[in-house]
Structure 1
Amino acid sequence: MSIVEEPVTETRRWVGQSVARKEDPKLLTGRAGYIGDVVLPGMLHGAVLRSPHAHARIVSIDTSEAEALPGVVVVLTGAAAAELVDPMPAFCAEPVEQRAIAVDRVRYPGEAVAAVAATDRYTAEDACAKIRVEYELLPALVDPVAAMEPSATRVHETLDSNVVFHRSLDWGDVDGDLARAHTVVRSSARWHRMGAHPIETAGAVASWDPYGQSMTVYSNSNFINFLPWAFAGILRVSTNRLRMIPCTVGGSFGSKHLITKVVSITGALSKACGRPVQYLEDRTDNVAANDNVGCDRIYDAELALAEDGEMLGLVLRIIDDYGAYFQFAHGQHGNAVAQPVGPYRIGSLRYDVSCVLTNKVQQGFFRGAGADPGNFILERLVDKAALEMGIDRVELRRRNFIRPEQFPYKIPTGNVYDSGDYEAVLDRALEIAGLDRWREEQERLRAEGRYLGIGLASCQERSGYNASEWWFLYGDEAPLPATSTPESCKIDVDAMGGVRATIGCPLWGNSPETVVGQVVAEEFGIDPSSVSVAYADSTSGAISAGPGGSRVTIMLSGATRGAARTVKDKMIRVAASAMEMDPEDVECVEGVFRAKGAPGTSMTMAEVAMRAHLFNDGTSEAESSGLVAVHTYDHPYFTPPTADRSDLGAFYPMVSHACHIPIVEVDPETGQVTLRAYYVVNDCGTVMNPALVEGQVIGGIVQGIGAALMEEYRYGASDGELETPTFREYLLPSMHEVPEIVLEHLETPSPFTEYGVKGAGEGGRLVAPTAIASAVDDALRPLGVWVDELPMTPERVVGMVADAQGRR
């Protein structure tokens, strides 16, 4: 991996280096401490009984046999749980109530109908098997288009329609651009839902104190220091009597943002029995009932172009299947409208979205969070335009890229792109891929009756979100118009000069300790390995929106740098006082506070720290003992939406960019797609740690391979039954599907952030499915195939070929 660097204005020692991960030793030796490792005195274990039906009324539940089983302490039905805990928090304006345990009706296969706490998990599971539930089956809605019909059975009686949300917004003169266009390219697309499937599932340990009316919860949720009041509301606990303790998270990819159901279930069971209760989903629970699966969309789209290929306007009509509930409202479309025009200078946009409820597990925020299918439809439109207009697909992109001198660049929706050089990224990707060589290989193989394809996708990775994206598609009825997604860091230098950092962001499988260590090291000139990093619980006041939206490095850099500089400035003043100098004449170099121009006059970190802790004689003005600072870093560049939504504001302005070129071979007889090579050039601003970014990008590409070729939630058309309940049916990519990945970086630092960093956590995932679709399309073009549906399973590939040749 190489880095093409833009000039920077400061010399850096640690930022930009592949510093070893501070998290690795405890993770690799099993010492990290997950939910499953939490053991409390008297702790019970929970299990959940789930509905086998997609849609049914609960006629009756008989728990007597389960309650009689030795070792069972408590059994809760939905009605019993409703006496102890409240419904899930809803960030939508529509009346769509969700409870952790269904009360009178189940709305998707796998919805909980009862929960058990017992002395061990085996007994709890056995007890669940003894609970007798009588159901009255109702029509199951699987097709979102059919669910939109006025005659369709409603998923929720509180709604007039299964179309739970609809809005159409125009930015710019869309109709005018369509009318004056030389060519209007039209395309449809289908993006099916997939899930995160982390190694560790969602879980919690709850311990209710009836005397103090307080609750302690161990959780692998992200939002313990951002929305602790939401958990308190569920549990019916005063916010100042809830303590949420973060645990190491064994993977999330967005699926553990607000895992309210497991917290509610363990909290209700703990309240009912007065003892701590642990519940960790098993794999079947997680596949069927995790509330954070990916989006499920149908697109009808148009791209208007002038005669020379200039892109004028874009129309996106979207039907989005949200499943049975609407916890995060239209959530994922905030991500989508952050970058709907991609890297192109498209002047107008119509965005028409219908959010539909069906009898499936609901959408949440899974890696990419709705921007991924937006990349797919846009790049498919660009490729189709190139074909219809007879313009090379590379050349068409070049003509329409936002130019480097145009940044910061405001797109039609109002979001701002901070920086970039998209043509340079494309040029380097073409160079490392050796496109001419692969075209020669393509022609050679076609002569043998084999089908090689060369993909191309140039896509955005919006990063560093602001909370306005959760609600700005609403009007005056916006339920929670939040405008802040802060991140905190506390820096404490002890009396011996040791630096401790405490953060509100949990360890989610990324590298917050490493990033914090690098920033502290950069500011003080010390070694990152010497910095101790700890995680704060919800009682610390360390407000933190945590991981998500490719934001952690951006926000932790700002929070840590702010706290470190506050402490460093105080240490300079203390050192200056001790050395009888003006603070302006003292600098910190490699952990030593010394006189500028006279380094022999100096004090070590330990000497300054000891003086600050124990030798304040009252002569220093406005200085108190100790060296500690808390810095809360707010979004670095945000503007609010206008009242009429003609401008949604700048809310996702740190925009990374990448070009992916995968090489595939496709067997049209079996539908098998084999990746032969993969080339990537990525620009995420200043690369904080090249090794970490490489892991994020390559991991995202592997997940993108799953999205492109195999991963899909499938439900029975007639009964709504989940047909992919285990990893025998729901397929995941392995090392055998992953080719060699050649990755390079180009850096265009962000003008908005500390050090110029941008996000990188979702980039591979946001581009790979689209690039692989382009490659399969290129391979099968001689057969007349056009790829417009993901994943491209073998069955679908064979079907596409048959359709193109009129054989079915």
Structure 2
Amino acid sequence: MTTVDPSAPPVRHHKDNRTWVGQSIRRVEDPKFLRGKGGYIADLVEPGMLHAAVLRSPHAHARITRIDTAAALAAPGVHTVITGARAAELCDPLPDFGPDPANHTWRCLAVDKARYVGEGVAVVVADNRYRAEDALGLIEVDYEPLPAVVDPVRALAEASPLVHEPLGSNCAYERSFDFGDVDGDFAGADVVIRDRLRWHRSGGQPLETVGAIADFDHATGQLTVHTNSLSFTSYLFMAAATLKIPANKLDIVPVPAGGSFGSKLFVTKPLVIAGMCSREVGRPVVYLEDRVDNISNCDHHGSDRVYEVELAMMRDGTMRGLKIDVVDDYGAYIQFGVGHHGNALAQVTGPYKIGSVRYRLRAALTNKNQQGAYRGFGSEVNNWMLEQMVDKAARELELDPVQLRRQNFIQPDEFPYFIPTGNVYDSGNYHAVLDQALKLSDYDHWRSEQKRLLEEEGRYIGIGLITAQERSVFSATEFWFWFDEPGAPVTSMPESVTLKVDATGGITATLYSCAFWGNSPETMVAQLVAEEFDCDPHDVSIVYQSSRNGLPATGPGGSRTTVMLAGAVEGATAKIKDKARRAAAHLLEIDAGDLEWVDGGYQVKGVPERRKSLGDIAIALHLFKHSFPEDVESGLEESKVFDHPYTTMPSADRTNLGVFYPFVGHAVHVPVVEVDVETGGVRFLDYTAVHDCGTLVNPRSLDGHIVGGTAQGIGTALYEEFVYDEDGQLLATSFMDYLIPSAMEVPELKIGHTETPSPYTPHGIKGGGEGGRMMAPAALNVAVNDALAPLGVRVTELPMTPDRLLTAIRDARSASRP
């Protein structure tokens, strides 16, 4: 629905001609990484540092009745062994945004019982990792095994074993929200499409695991930690509280990360373990996860959901209402609460004019590693769910799947458009994206080929067209609007930049959140600075500041980095240009209003030969203070703390959640696959992806996001799954069992772009970092179902492994026999 929001920020007017924004430049980060000088966490390990290794529970659910560390302490090179009980004395519980923390305590090491396979129960600090690992084998632990629960629906049953006894239930959260006239829309519908869908858990698999190097100075009480993790830099006081040190005594130094995909978002456990150990032994301590640590004890598995969904439709294809009943398996802990579903509610109706939504959520606790962030943070699952329902509706109503989507699109003249939850879509032209995708994919040709190949050669070809959203730039309200009386109704999610023009005119940008995660912040900031100051992006120096000297910042996540840093750069630039204008006016002996910025400096309007370049102004401000009026200070350096540009508060009754994720991109993916009905194998014949992320900053970089995200989406759809058996044993603890698609399995993508600039952000930018994975699982599920439709097969479970596909084919053939 379209309404006027009096709280909306002013509409921005974007310039048409840009020099650097929109250019596919090579990343300014590349030279250091290609030379092996990126400074990853392992590169910072020096001789003399001690190393930590964690003893992990072999049981999914067991009481810890005894731990004997004497033999481990006596081993050569061992400096200390810290059990869970001792860690509870040294540290408070870890930061936790989940419900009822008093009865849901999450610590860096298990104290009374282990709640999943892989949970840490002790840590050894030794001269090197080899000796630390050897000493782990000398620790004697007596466990009293308890019944485990791994199925989320069974976990909610009354007789289920309890993961946390003080909670009295394995349901960590339950609530149903109604947005709009749900009952009326369903009562007036011609038909209701129903389905049960199952999305199994997978996770981001970074090339580099999480690591931290901690150095506690007993003389000053200062703890310095280098880490490749931690977003939410404004909330590092929580990590300090866990370590029982003042926040001003904790200094986090950001280190480039070898991949994250969300899996390194606010990962506090390695930092706390390293910091605790360093304080205990009085030496620098390194804790680097090995691959088993990272897979089994990372706190960042992806979503694990069971859906019961109903879509109210008219026979002409008009969508009316949506009922969603979802059980989400959060594992043993629930660090981010149910924020994953805030992401879903930001775009719950997709690109369609669906008038009402009922959203029932139950968060189940089980004996598994807990959920965290993975590219999409829950909204990619919503895209998949919704597109499966739309595809099923097209089949049941015998409607063309392209036209069904098109007729329900929000129209270009209806933006900004408020969806039933209260979030706003800022801009869009979904028809244009669809048209480009149909053309680029040669859709009509593949439809013709699909029919021919089945009739002439018995080959099963599927075309998986889907249309879906990519929300970007979250507001903090999505983490607390779940409660009538939230414990901490936080609203600040800023990003900051400091720009300094040195005496020679060189520009340095200082960033205050996470270092390189793969999202190219240095290139993006360099391009934005170059756009403002008419310089070359490769001449801009980008540095990072540690938390001790940092300005408020949140860091990457939720496709927010580009929009937020663009706002911070714009604000800091405006301050510098204002001072530079006044300085130039003084130097040129003219009124500041008679100056204009042209080609990297200020010149007199109509008299271009009378000008001062930024370098001229900078050197004067650095060296000749007394040549200027008293109110002009030396130097040319300014900072900007940029707050979320568009947030509104939820209504008291939560029938409207407010604006909390307002910059919404859109994409159409069209994979063409062939399914081998004898082996269950899926082969790509073609893949097209067309995205609209507002104004493009660096198309080359964005294409990389789309390719990488699509590769991860292919993994989610066909290969990747954290498999737990009925006893809670994790069966996929290495890449021998957890299968990731390689370059041989990922097809070459045909990528297209349209641009509908946001009216509310600098340059009209929207986030695009989670593109690809937000769409590929849905598109591939539709494609496989399209291929197997002649056999009467509909696959409703991801990943679509060969075994699952063959089972579905066999079941369909058995059902068709007389």
Confirm or deny a common fold (TM above 0.5).
yes
The match for 1:52 is: 58
1:461 and 1:685 mapped to 2: Cα distance?
11
Instruction: Name the SS of the counterpart of 1:223 in structure 2.
Output: coil
Q: Is the CA contact 1:225–1:542 (under 8 Å) kept in the aligned structure 2?
A: no
- Separation (CA, whole Å) in 1 of partners of 2:45 and 2:741: 34
Render the CA deviation track for 1:116-164: whole Å, top value 9, x for unaligned.
1111111111111111111110001011111111111110011011011
Q: How does 1:569-608 map to 2 (within 5 A)?
A: 569-608=578-617
One-letter amino acid matched to 2:403? E
Q: CA offsets, 1:79-113, max 9 Å, x none?
A: 11112111111112313111111111000000001
Matches within 5 A, 1:356-395: 356-395=364-403
How has the CA–CA distance of structure 1 residues 224 and 770 changed in structure 2, closer, same or farther, with 3 Å as cutoff? closer
Give per-residue Cα distances to partners, 1:714-771, cap 9 Å, x unaligned: 1011x11001111111000101111120001000000010000001111111000000
Counterpart check, 1:327 vs 2:335: yes
**Could you report, residue by residue, the CA deviation over 1:588-640 in whole angstroms, capped at 9, with x for unpaired residues?**
32223222221111122221101111212275263211111110111111101
Q: Counterpart amino acid of 1:584?
A: G
Aligned to 1:239: 247
Counterpart amino acid of 2:444?
D
> Cα distance, 1:193 vs. partner?
0.6
Given that residues 330 and 365 in structure 2 are in contact (C-alpha distance below 8 angstroms), is that contact kept between their aligned partners in structure 1? yes
Mark the runs of 5 or more structure 1 residues left unpaired by the alignment.
Answer: 1-6
Distance 1:388 1:622 in 2: 74
Distance 1:379 1:46 in 2: 46
Unaligned runs of 5+ in 2: 1-12
Aligned to 1:626: 635
* Cα deviation, residue 479, structure 1: 2.6
Please give the alpha-carbon distance, in whole angstroms, between the structure 1 residues aligned to 2:767 and 2:751: 16
Q: Which residue does the alignment assign to 2:98?
A: 92
Cα distance in structure 1, aligned partners of 2:627 and 2:661: 48
- Mapped to 1, the partners of 2:523 and 2:606 lie a distance apart of 33
Q: Distance in 2 between matches of 1:479 and 1:53?
A: 34
Choose the corresponding residue for 1:19, options 15, 25, 48: 25
User: Could you tell me which amino acid in structure 1 is paired with residue 461 of structure 2?
Assistant: L
TM-score relative to the length of structure 2: 0.96
* Residue 514 (structure 2) pairs with residue 510 (structure 1): no
CA distance in 2, matches of 1:234, 1:255: 21
Does residue 420 (structure 1) correspond to residue 428 (structure 2)? The answer is yes
Measured in 2, the distance between the counterparts of 1:663 and 1:37 equals 43
What amino acid sits opposite 1:402 in the alignment? I
Query: Partners of 2:232 and 2:323 in 1: how far apart?
Result: 39
The CA RMSD over aligned residues, in Å, is 1.4
CA deviations on 1:476-532 (whole Å, 9 max, x unpaired) are: 1x2321111100000011111111110112211111111111111111111111111
Distance 2:323 2:201 in 1: 23
| The 10-residue stretch of structure 1 (479-488 or 35-44) with the greater mean CA deviation from structure 2 | 35-44
Q: Which residue of 2 aligns with 1:738?
A: 746
Other-structure match for 1:286 = 294
Partner of 2:413: 405
Residue aligning to 1:671:
680
Deviations 1:149-208 (A, max 9, x none): 111111001101101100001011111111110111111100011010100111111111
Aligned equivalents of 1:752 and 1:355: distance in 2?
Answer: 34
Matched pairs, number? 801
Cα distance change on mapping 1:278 and 1:646 into 2, 3 Å = same
Q: Please state if 1:62 is matched with 2:62.
A: no
Aligned to 2:796: 788
* Cα pair 1:92 1:479 within 8 Å, conserved: no
Any idea what SS the aligned residue of 2:608 has?
strand
- Deviation of 1:40 after TM superposition, in Å, equals 5.2
1:303 and 2:320 are equivalent in the alignment: no
Cross-structure match for 1:149:
157
User: Cα distance, 1:11 vs. partner?
Assistant: 1.6
CA distance in 1, matches of 2:553, 2:321: 38
Partner of 1:210: 218
TM-score, length basis structure 1: 0.98
| Contact persistence 2:14–2:764 (CA under 8 A) | no
Note the 1:270-281 alignment, pairs <5 A: 270-281=278-289
Whether 1:538 and 2:538 are equivalent positions in the alignment is no
Distance change in 2, residues 1:134/1:807 (3 Å): farther
Q: Distance in 1 between matches of 2:703 and 2:294?
A: 28
1:272 deviates by 1.3
1:322 partner amino acid? Y
Amino acid at match of 1:512: P
How far does the alpha carbon of each residue in 1:690-716 deviate from its partner, in whole angstroms, 9 at most, with x for none? 101100011100000000001001101
Tell me the distance in 1 between the aligned counterparts of 2:617 and 2:598: 13
Counterpart of 2:732, as a letter, is: T
For residues 606-621 of structure 1, the aligned pairs below 5 Å read 606-617=615-626, 619-620=628-629
CA contact (8 A) 1:490 1:629 kept: yes
CA distance in 1, matches of 2:400, 2:542: 51
Amino acid in the other structure paired with 1:444:
R
Match of 1:661 in 2: 670
Task: Name the CA distance, whole Å, in 1 between partners of 2:211 and 2:15.
Answer: 46
Q: CA deviation at 1:651?
A: 0.5
Assess if the C-alpha contact under 8 Å between 1:524 and 1:588 holds in 2: no
Report SS of the residue matched to 2:548: coil
Counterpart of 1:511 in structure 2: which amino acid? S
**Cα distance in 1 between the residues matched to 2:205 and 2:695:** 31
8 Å Cα contact 1:702-1:738 kept in structure 2:
yes
Is this contact kept in 1: 2:210–2:289, CA < 8 A? yes
Q: Residue 650 of structure 2 aligns with which residue?
A: 641
Once the two structures are TM-superposed, the CA of residue 411 in structure 1 deviates from its matched residue by 0.3
* Cα-to-partner distance string for 1:359-402 (whole Å, 9 max, x where unaligned): 00000111110001111111111111111112111111111000
Match of residue 496, structure 1, among 497, 504, 512? 504
CA deviations 1:40-84 (Å, max 9, x no partner) are 574201111101110001111111111111111111110111121
In structure 1, distance between residues paired with 2:27 and 2:474? 25
Q: 1:636-656 CA deviation, whole Å, 9 max, x = no partner?
A: 111011111011010000000
- Of residues 122, 137, 147, the one that matches 1:129 is 137
1:687 pairs, out of 656, 672, 696, with 696
Q: Which of 420, 437, 444 is equivalent to 2:445?
A: 437
| Partner secondary structure for residue 563 of structure 2 | helix
What is the distance in 1 between the residues matched to 2:334 and 2:441? 43
Equivalent-residue separation in structure 1 for 2:23 and 2:327 (angstroms) = 44
Deviation at 1:574, TM superposition (A): 0.6
- Partner SS for 1:806: helix
Give 1:523's aligned residue.
532
Aligned to 1:737, what secondary structure does the other structure show? coil
Question: 2:558 maps to which residue?
Answer: 549
Check 1:396–1:224 CA distance in 2 against 1; reply closer, same or farther (3 A cut).
closer
Q: Which moved more, 1:275-284 or 1:202-211?
A: 202-211
